Amino acid sequence: MEDNLFRYAWRHSRRQQLWLICAVLVSLPFYYFSLDLPKAIINGPIQGTGFTAPGATHTAMQIGLQLPDWLGGASFQFFPGVQLDRVGTLVYLCMLFLALVLINGAFKLQISTYKGLLGERLLRRLRYQLVDMVLRFPLAQFRRLRSSEVATIVKDEVEPLGGFFGDAFVQPLLLVSQAATAMAFILLQSVTLGLVAAAIVAVQLLIIPRLRRKLLVLGRQRQLTARLLAGRIAEIVEGIAEVRTNDTSNWERAEIASRLGRIFFIRMDIYQWKFLVKFINNLLAQVTPFIFYLVGGYLAIVGQVDIGQLVAVIAAYKDLPTPLKELIDWDQARLDAQLRYTQVLDQFSSASLLDPELQALAPADSAPTVHELSAHEVSIRDDAGMTVLEPVSLSLTAGTATLATGAAGCGAEYLAEACARLVEPASGRVLVDGAPIQSLPDSFLARSIGYAGAQPYFGRGTLRHALLYGLYHAPDSPPDGRDATRQRNRHEARLSGNTEHDVEDDWINYTATGTSGPDDLTDRLRRVITAVELEGDIYRIGLGGRFPEAFPPEIEARLVAARDDFRAQLGADGTQRFVEPFEAERYTANATVLENLVFGLRAPDAQAVPMERDPYLDEQLEKIGLRVRLIDMGRQIATTLIELFGDLQPGNPLLERMDIISPDELPQYQALLPRFGKPGEAVPPDVAAALLKLAYAYIEPRHHLGLLDKTLEQEILAARQKFREGLPPSLTEVVFFHEPGRLNPAASIQDNILFGRIAVNVAEAPERVSAILRQTLDELGLTTAVVERGLAFEIGSGGKGLSLAQRQKISLARATLKRPDVLILNRALDALETVSQSAIIGRVMDAATRRDGQKPAVLCVVSSFEPEDRFDRVLAFSEGRLIETRERGQPARPGAEPTKEERAQARAGAA
Amino acid sequence: MSVLKTEVELLRRVSFFAGMDTTRLKLLAFTSDVITYDASQIMFRQGDVGDSAYVILEGEAEARVRLSNGNDVPVARIRTGDLVGEIAVLCDIPRTATVSAVSAVKALRIQREPFFELMHQFPEIAISIARVMAERVAQTTSDLVHVKEKLAAETAR
């Protein structure tokens, strides 16, 4: 990228900038006329020059051409004009003036809009280029990169550049020409007055920017000292023990005082300069009219200028300071923008970027199949230069499975990373069918290598998106099936130098999965998630979701039937007590207090007040005297939870286990309790709401704090009655009560079929109920719908909504879905215990086939695996070395000190 | 008295947790679940993958081990306040015995994840557990020595 901001802007917006400049130049004559016209108005119709004789008229709207003398001086007249009297001329000239005002305004509007457009395009281009560079950074670079910094640069730091791009060329041109026009105008009226004005302008242009620059320096100093002060204060707070035990508090006082003093003097300097600049500016602006009145007045009296000229000069001078001031502002913006631009470039251009060719878009079925991936004497060093893997060779060929075992950090994981090109070997080479892995395009490697690591990362999106992410290779765009909006988006993207590939297109590489289209893919997806034992998780997530909006009525009927079926099965098993049913007259212990109060749910709606804050509910509780009791209950919950969790550091995973209070809310409750902690005490509405919220979320069997007794349950049931009886119209539409014969659209699928809650503290209840529920849904053919619902689950940024084991399974499913030639599993399921890990990996290996029908080459790194003879070869690693190699059916061979011959042999075998 | 307090009192009696601070015990109790079992219901089976330990709050349970000859042998009686199943939580091995309720049992189920998070957070918990485990190893070793001596004496005879 260009190292100079102006060069960058010029290169990518030359045509638009030229167009802008033309527009500005065209606008100038109109601007000049609008300056000139007042003189004509004052001198002509107002003062009566040329209208001395009664009945005198003036020719207006005459259109003609007068050739200069050196061209023969001929004159052509196209329109002879209209004769107007004095008032007529006044009206005509004023109308002309109004027209000029409108024209100038229109020019300004157009130019500003166009500038905005130009700036935004360039900003879009710059941001896109920055992200493009990030995508092309070598992987090693990312260890030194802080994600938040990159994000801030792309998002915030370049933002002001957008505004500047539009102004970069045209603003100085416009301002200078405006100022020059005004100056020229003044000079034409009177050379003397013009010289005076020019002198003052020169002073302004020379002095003000210098003074301002000094202000900038001071501002930066102030920022720096303030930051240091903040650091020192933090030091005092953190090291207070040292301060007290060493009696250095007085020294600290003096130290802080001296820093505050420094800031004080800097600020004083700033004030002095700031107001000095203001003073000089104002003085220059106001002294000028004084000179104009004095000198201009004198000249008018002497008759060297007429009054009209003088008024016009003063009017023109009024227009001078504004462009000048803006010009000075522009200069400052230029300095700032150039600095910003260079800083951003420094951050990004230090890296040696990958060749864009390596990431070029490739058609779905472009990659040839890989026969062998081999590592030759590969050693790896970490960032600190420590060797984490001693030289080792390895060959992965189609149909063979290799197991690498060892504790975390044994070195095998680095080998796996090197095979997937995630680290660069310090020595040795990794070859793919003889070609160095570094030279291969991403598209080729991504299609032929499936990699699943221990810490997979997921962006925001649905579960389905996360599973299919490995297939978003190239868009399948219908040739002209785009609507107007998409056409427009595409056109605009081209103008900003962005990619023209449309994210809305279908990017999925069906060929890689061996399917023909979306329907086919869903089947395959189902099989893969079943193989990695994710299907149960997704199904459970689906059960917790609600029915999709448009739910076919016949399924609704079947679901209500499912409820009875489920009950029958549950009863038949003699396990009635596993589910606590929803009954209008009974308290459901396994549901929250709020659910018990409402005996139903409010349809979720992001805009609406949540149920727990609804004034109607509050009012009902108040009426029967339950509100105070529930507030007390909330108080007890808050007290207990703060006692248990209050001294944990923010970010501690244990905090998530509070369940009722979310970790971010904890400080709020900690602040609130000392003031409103006394039982029975009246509290302000917001505190009441905060405490009620806790009480509402309470479930006795789950939280076992012993806060609910039979009397309170009875009172809640009474409130339930009241709540339902007086329900206002605003709520009848959105609150759905549990009713035996009807589905509840606001409740989860599971709640709808169970029509009750699992008794969590009865042994085996969750497992048994799930089994029966699954059976019921299977029989009704609804399981697929539930899994689909689960696949639509939003996993949250980084997949926070899922456990590590679930994330690892998704990553594994993703790696196998594309039928890779080489499957690398790098501690891919280490969140599971050995038995489950081995079972899933075994199943995945059984199911995996390549595009050419062969079995893939497999490299699996684990701590331990059972049974190991599932693999053709087992490599044992320890402390960065290969210590033992076992081929299937052959005795173990130590690998720590291979003899020369062996090494040569290995090399020959690998090559 | 709140339910949590009762649970804490019982936890305190477990040698594993004896040295722990009341607040930590409360935290442990809060992050655990109370589960009820019918008489003769199985709490966990030998050979299963285990992810939780149990403190008996009420009732009695029995541990049985299936020998290689297929016979079930009762090995221990587990009473109120006893801890059972902790080995599967501490290390990744299958259950070593089958435990079933003798009477109706109420137990506090401590799951591996919160338990490990607690140990991670409060090393004093880990230390007190390490101490108990070390004592057990010492006991087992001395038992083993005892048995070996006895065996040696018998073969010598």
Give per-residue pLDDT as tens, A708-718: 888 889 989 98
Residue pairs between chains A and B whose CB atoms are closer than 8 Å: 61
Residue A360 has pLDDT above 80, yes or no: yes
Q: Which residues in chain B have their CB less than 8 angstroms from residue A639's CB?
A: none
- The residue in chain A having the minimum alpha-carbon distance to the alpha carbon of residue B88 is A833
Confidence of residue A895 (pLDDT cuts 50, 70, 90): low
Average pLDDT (A340-359) is: 79
Q: Which residues in chain A have their CB less than 8 angstroms from residue B43's CB?
A: 763
Residue with tokens 């349809």: A603
Preceding amide of A867 cis, omega within 30:
yes
**Burial degree of A721 (CB within 10 A; 0-12, 13-18, 19+):** middle
Please name the member of A644, A762, A835 whose beta carbon is closest to the beta carbon of B30.
A644
Interface contact flag, A654 B23, Cβ < 8 Å? no
Selected residue of B7, B20, B28, B35 to mutate for chain A interface (largest A Cβ count, 10 A):
B35
pLDDT tens readout for residues A376-401? 999 999 888 889 999 999 999 998 99
Please name the member of B23, B35, B49 whose beta carbon is closest to the beta carbon of A644.
B23
Interface contact flag, B30 A703, Cβ < 8 Å? yes
**What single-letter amino acid sits at B3?**
V
Residue A660 has pLDDT above 70, yes or no: yes
Interface contact flag, A762 B36, Cβ < 8 Å? yes
Confidence of residue A481 (pLDDT cuts 50, 70, 90): low
DSSP assignment, residue B76?
A: E
Q: Which residues in chain A have their CB less than 8 angstroms from residue B1's CB?
A: 706
Please name the member of A760, A835, A836 whose beta carbon is closest to the beta carbon of B33.
A760
Q: How far apart are CA A147 and CA A142, in angstroms?
A: 8
Residue A670 and residue A646 in contact, taking contact as beta carbons nearer than 8 Å: yes
Q: List the alpha helices (DSSP H) in A602-626.
A: 615-623
Q: How far apart are CA A714 and CA A717, in angstroms?
A: 5
Residue A683 has pLDDT above 80, yes or no: yes
Interface contact flag, B27 A645, Cβ < 8 Å? yes
What pLDDT sits at residue A20? 87
**Burial degree of A165 (CB within 10 A; 0-12, 13-18, 19+):** buried
Residue A911 has pLDDT above 50, yes or no: no
pLDDT tens readout for residues A859-869? 999 988 888 88
Average pLDDT (B35-63) is: 88
Residue A452 and residue A831 in contact, taking contact as beta carbons nearer than 8 Å: no
Distance from the first to the final alpha carbon of chain A: 41
Q: Which residues in chain B have their CB less than 8 angstroms from residue A653's CB?
A: 117
Confidence of residue A66 (pLDDT cuts 50, 70, 90): low
What pLDDT sits at residue A909? 45
Which whole-number Å values give the CA distances from A255 to A231, A259, A626, B28, in the listed order?
13, 6, 57, 46
What pLDDT sits at residue A378? 93
pLDDT tens readout for residues A816-841? 998 899 999 999 998 888 888 899 99
Neighbours of B9 (CB within 10 A): 14
What pLDDT sits at residue A461? 86
What pLDDT sits at residue A67? 66
Residue with tokens 């005490």: A681
The residue ranking higher by pLDDT, A567 or A413, is A413
Residue A281 has pLDDT above 90, yes or no: no
Neighbours of A838 (CB within 10 A): 20
Interface contact flag, B117 A833, Cβ < 8 Å? no
**CA distance, residue B132 to nearest chain A CA (Å):** 24
Q: Which residues in chain A have their CB less than 8 angstroms from residue B38's CB?
A: 763
Residue B112 and residue B54 in contact, taking contact as beta carbons nearer than 8 Å: no
Average pLDDT (A634-641) is: 90
Interface contact flag, B118 A654, Cβ < 8 Å? yes
Chain A contacts to B (CB-CB under 8 A) = 640, 643-645, 648, 652-654, 657, 701-707, 760-764, 833-836
Residue A162 has pLDDT above 50, yes or no: yes
Interface contact flag, B49 A761, Cβ < 8 Å? no
Average pLDDT (A898-906) is: 49
Q: How far apart are CA A527 and CA A534, in angstroms?
A: 10
Residue A557 and residue A826 in contact, taking contact as beta carbons nearer than 8 Å: no
Q: How far apart are CA A58 and CA A460, in angstroms?
A: 75
Residue A120 and residue A495 in contact, taking contact as beta carbons nearer than 8 Å: no
Q: How far apart are CA A680 and CA A252, in angstroms?
A: 46
Residue with tokens 């006692």: A643
Selected residue of A761, A767, A806 to mutate for chain B interface (largest B Cβ count, 10 A):
A761
- The residue in chain A having the minimum alpha-carbon distance to the alpha carbon of residue B24 is A644
Residue A842 and residue A466 in contact, taking contact as beta carbons nearer than 8 Å: no
What pLDDT sits at residue A73? 66
Transcribe A276-338 into DSSP letters.
HHHHHHHHHHHHHHHHIIIIIHHHHHHTSS-HHHHHHHHHHHHTTHHHHHHHHHHHHHHHHHH
- The residue in chain B having the minimum alpha-carbon distance to the alpha carbon of residue A647 is B23
The residue ranking higher by pLDDT, B122 or A819, is A819
What pLDDT sits at residue A256? 92
Average pLDDT (A196-222) is: 80
Residue A331 and residue A322 in contact, taking contact as beta carbons nearer than 8 Å: no
* 3-state SS class at A440: coil
Q: How far apart are CA A601 and CA A271, in angstroms?
A: 61
Please name the member of B3, B27, B35 whose beta carbon is closest to the beta carbon of A705.
B3
**CA distance, residue A374 to nearest chain B CA (Å):** 34
Q: How far apart are CA A231 and CA A240, in angstroms?
A: 14
Q: How far apart are CA A458 and CA A452, in angstroms?
A: 13
Residue A266 has pLDDT above 50, yes or no: yes
Residue B61 has pLDDT above 50, yes or no: yes
Selected residue of B11, B22, B30, B34 to mutate for chain A interface (largest A Cβ count, 10 A):
B30
Please state whether beta strands A600-602 and A401-405 pair in parallel, antiparallel, or not at all (unpaired): unpaired
Interface contact flag, B37 A705, Cβ < 8 Å? no
Q: Which residues pair with A387 in a beta bridge?
A: A381
Chain B contacts to A (CB-CB under 8 A) = 1-4, 7, 23, 26-27, 29-31, 33-38, 41, 43, 49, 92, 94, 114, 117-118, 121
- The residue in chain B having the minimum alpha-carbon distance to the alpha carbon of residue A658 is B31
Q: Which residues in chain A have their CB less than 8 angstroms from residue B26's CB?
A: 643-644
Residue A584 and residue A729 in contact, taking contact as beta carbons nearer than 8 Å: no
Confidence of residue A896 (pLDDT cuts 50, 70, 90): very low
What pLDDT sits at residue A581? 86
Residue with tokens 């005996």: A599
Please name the member of A701, A706, A763 whose beta carbon is closest to the beta carbon of B41.
A763
Interface contact flag, A657 B30, Cβ < 8 Å? yes
Q: Which residues pair with A873 in a beta bridge?
A: A402, A887
Q: How far apart are CA A691 and CA A709, in angstroms?
A: 19
Q: List the alpha helices (DSSP H) in A70-190.
A: 86-136, 141-144, 147-152, 159-167, 170-189
Which whole-number Å values give the CA distances from A862 to A78, A321, A837, B113, in the listed order?
94, 75, 9, 21
Transcribe B7-53 into DSSP letters.
HHHHHHHSGGGTTS-HHHHHHHHHTSEEEEE-TT-EEE-TTS---EE
- The residue in chain B having the minimum alpha-carbon distance to the alpha carbon of residue A649 is B121
R_g of chain A computed on alpha carbons: 40
Q: Which residues in chain A have their CB less than 8 angstroms from residue B33's CB?
A: 702, 760-761
What pLDDT sits at residue A551? 65
B144's tokens = 């083993």
* 3-state SS class at A361: coil
Interface contact flag, A763 B37, Cβ < 8 Å? yes
Confidence of residue A554 (pLDDT cuts 50, 70, 90): confident
State the virtual CA torsion across A400, A406, A410, A416 in degrees, nearest 10. Answer: 20
Interface contact flag, A763 B7, Cβ < 8 Å? no
Residue A328 and residue A206 in contact, taking contact as beta carbons nearer than 8 Å: no
Q: How far apart are CA A885 and CA A873, in angstroms?
A: 7
Q: Which helix (H) or strand (E) holds A836?
A: helix A834-847
Q: How far apart are CA A808 and CA A24, in angstroms?
A: 60
Residue A612 has pLDDT above 50, yes or no: yes
Interface contact flag, A761 B7, Cβ < 8 Å? no
Please name the member of B26, B33, B92 whose beta carbon is closest to the beta carbon of A761.
B33
Q: How far apart are CA A152 and CA A640, in angstroms?
A: 40
Distance from the first to the final alpha carbon of chain B: 62
Interface contact flag, A833 B121, Cβ < 8 Å? no
- The residue in chain A having the minimum alpha-carbon distance to the alpha carbon of residue B22 is A644
Interface contact flag, B34 A645, Cβ < 8 Å? no
Interface contact flag, B43 A763, Cβ < 8 Å? yes
Pick the closest to residue A619 from A731, A710, A699, A709 (CA basis).
Answer: A731
**Burial degree of A353 (CB within 10 A; 0-12, 13-18, 19+):** middle
- The residue in chain B having the minimum alpha-carbon distance to the alpha carbon of residue A803 is B113
Q: Which residues in chain A have their CB less than 8 angstroms from residue B41's CB?
A: 763-764
Q: How far apart are CA A15 and CA A570, in angstroms?
A: 76
Please name the member of B3, B38, B118 whose beta carbon is closest to the beta carbon of A706.
B3
Q: Which residues pair with A878 in a beta bridge?
A: A881
- The residue in chain B having the minimum alpha-carbon distance to the alpha carbon of residue A832 is B92
What pLDDT sits at residue A376? 93
State the virtual CA torsion across A763, A769, A770, A774 in degrees, nearest 10. Answer: 160
Q: How far apart are CA A876 and CA A347, in angstroms?
A: 42
What pLDDT sits at residue A109? 92
Pick the closest to residue A458 from A148, A146, A802 (CA basis).
Answer: A802
- The residue in chain B having the minimum alpha-carbon distance to the alpha carbon of residue A701 is B34
DSSP assignment, residue A368?
A: P
- The residue in chain A having the minimum alpha-carbon distance to the alpha carbon of residue B1 is A706
Confidence of residue B1 (pLDDT cuts 50, 70, 90): very low
State the virtual CA torsion across A525, A526, A531, A532 in degrees, nearest 10. Answer: 70
Which whole-number Å values give the CA distances from A75 to A79, A81, A601, in the listed order?
12, 15, 89
Residue A401 and residue A845 in contact, taking contact as beta carbons nearer than 8 Å: yes
What pLDDT sits at residue A161? 85
Residue B101 and residue B43 in contact, taking contact as beta carbons nearer than 8 Å: yes
Residue B129 has pLDDT above 70, yes or no: yes
